[in-house]
Each structure stands twice: as C-alpha cells, then as structure tokens.
Amino acid sequence: MRQPKPEWLKAKAPVGENFHNLKKLARNLGLHTVCESAQCPNIGECWNHRTATFMLLGDICTRRCGFCAVPKGRPGPIDWDEPGRVAEAVAALGLKHAVITSVNRDDDNVGGARIFAETIRAIRELTPDCRVEVLIPDFQGREDALRIVLEAKPEVLNHNTETVPRLYRAVRSGARYQRTLDLLANAKQFSPGTVTKSGLMAGLGETMEELIEVFRDLGTRGVDILTVGQYLRPSRDHLPIARFYTPEEFLQIKNEAMRFGFRHVESGPLVRSSYHAHEQAAATAPAQGWR
C-alpha cells in the first residue's frame, strides 16, 4: 500500500531568482544536472545557493538501476567539448566547490574517465581556487579508468555503495558490491591524499545490522566521508519504499557509522550525495589545506 510522505520529507518547491538563472545557464550551455535528472528533493535549496551537480556524458544511462530516475537507453557519442562548457558554468557561478557526476557509460568506460579528467583540468584552468568533487561510476572495475580520473587530482572522489549486498541485484543493475569496495580501496591506494566518499539509501528493505556491516566494510577501506539518506521512489516503475526512517533513526545511523573511523558522516532524511558537499569537504580537508 502507498504510504503518505512524512512531514520531515516535504521539501519546499524550487523558486527564486538563483534557481531560474542556474536553470537558464545549464540550458544555454547544453548541460545536464543530476539535480533535475534524478529528481532530487533538495534542488530548490541547493540551486538558490548557486550549488548544482553537473552530470557528464549526456543524460542517458546504460544501466537500469531499480531506484534511479535518470533516463535509460542507448546513449549518443561522447561529447568531447562538454568539459569546457562545464568549466564555463562553474566559472560563471563563481563556485568554490564543484561537484561533477555522470551517467554510466558501459559502452566506453575509458572514454568516460577521460571526460572526467578533462573536466577537472578545465575547471582548474578557469577557476584555479575551486575544489572539485567527482561522483564516479564503477567503470566496470577497470583500474586504468580509475587511474585516469585520479591523475587529474580531484580533491574528493565519491562512489556510492547505494545499498546492502543482499539487495544489489534488484537495486543496482550491473553493479557488484565487491567491485564497489575494491574501487574505494584502490582509490586510497593509488592516490592516498585524495578524500574518498560513499553514500547509501535507507528504506529499500535493509536491516540496521546490514547497514552496520556496510559501514564496517567502508571504514576498513579508508573511506573518509559517508552520506546516508532516505530512498524516495521516483515513480511507480521504480522499487517501492519498504519503510520511512525517522530523523531520530538517522541520528542513530550516524552514531553507529562514526564508530568505524569516518571523518565526516552526513545522515538525514533528505541527505543526498552532494547535499552540503562543500561543508563535508571542508570538514575533511588535509591539515595543510587544499592545493
């Protein structure tokens, strides 16, 4: 049966001058944002603060994950001019912390990694003092693709775990739990100075014990930042919500996670990977500061 949305999950409708200006900027530059494609509930708050997560490699994903609102299908060719347009948008917004993600491009994992790297370099060229956070796909486990991204030296490398191992087949089509753990461990091994980050959704049918096991696995891989938020069903074609967690339960989740060595944990009903990303990064900046 359909459950009514609790009061703590009701976000304000997106309005305001900054919201409309950012939307116009993205359209004029032919860019996509995961904020829109994934129907993020925080879009109004973030866009009014001139914060957006740009989505590379088009808006068509090659996977069919059961939770995700991003359109699926056969993507077009890679747009090699896209990094420059993203950098232009970051400069126009005057961002100090830019978050860049992408759809899965299993048709060309190395090409996708190169677009990430070129975007990082293009942002640095136009906005040298801007921190860059990337939220990457798993590149089907290809270490050469991961190295390409890390060689461009993003300050934060994020790859979301999304859910517990038992639910992977239904939730993350084409993904593997061990592959995710290996990617996060390799990121620390290949680039020890890079802050690593991962996120999970709650409410897909997992137990608290299963969540804690994932926290343990991520902690032992040296992950610095963890985000945990409530899963919200984008449509009737997506996985149903098993339950709504209360704000008090999210506080309990944070307290449990902190036992495993994370340097920062963001846990709450409306938390998403990029929510308050600049504050998360600041909390984990190296003692000597960023570059």
Q: b vs e for 141-153, b when ≥16 Cβ sit within 10 Å of the residue's Cβ?
A: beeebbebbbebb
Mean pLDDT value of segment 129-143: 94
pLDDT of 247 strictly over 70: yes
pLDDT at 284: 72
**Which of 30-34, 35-39, 186-190 bottoms out in mean pLDDT, i.e. has the lowest?**
35-39
Q: What is the pTM of this model?
A: 0.85
pLDDT at 288: 47
C-alpha span between 16 and 177 (Å, rounded): 40
Please state, rounded to an integer, the average pLDDT across all residues of the chain: 84
What is the domain class of 16-283 according to CATH?
alpha beta
Mean pLDDT value of segment 117-143: 95
pLDDT tens-digit series, residues 42-93: 554 554 555 667 889 887 878 777 667 677 888 889 999 999 999 998 888 8
Mean pLDDT value of segment 92-108: 87
pLDDT of 38 strictly over 50: no
**Which of 23-37, 230-244, 252-266 bottoms out in mean pLDDT, i.e. has the lowest?**
23-37
